[in-house]
Structure 1
């Protein structure tokens, strides 16, 4: 089971300067979903790979389902941010 502390650590690393490209890609994917635009499977795969690399860096082992859960949580948090900031 995925722990809240693991999610917090992943989110912190995503926002660090050395992972800003992954964070930016997550924001772009979220904006596309919110606006109804299509995104490519390559964009999604790249984002998933970035999350996996951060988890490896933090020594957080995730099952395939947990990895998808993390991507969903990141997407949800980004969506909340964008929904709150768009008039």
Structure 2
């Protein structure tokens, strides 16, 4: 929602009605209790930096999922061969 552009508020009205409710502090805090100390430390670093670093695998996946279906399937086959799942 934050990145969308609209021509007028009338055009955005239906989208606004369908948008999910924002996260609630208490619910997020409850989820944090399940994190280990190392996970909490990592999240704290991300929160302070204002972003989460993305690995090369994350970046590759982001690009691959934008491919047309047939190309994604070909990529899956290529990766399966590369890691030895298919000869």
- What band does the TM-score fall into relative to the shorter chain? under 0.3
Higher relative contact order (CA 8 A, sep 6+): 1
Higher helix proportion, which one? 1
Q: TM-score if structure 2 supplies the norm length?
A: 0.26
Larger Rg: 2
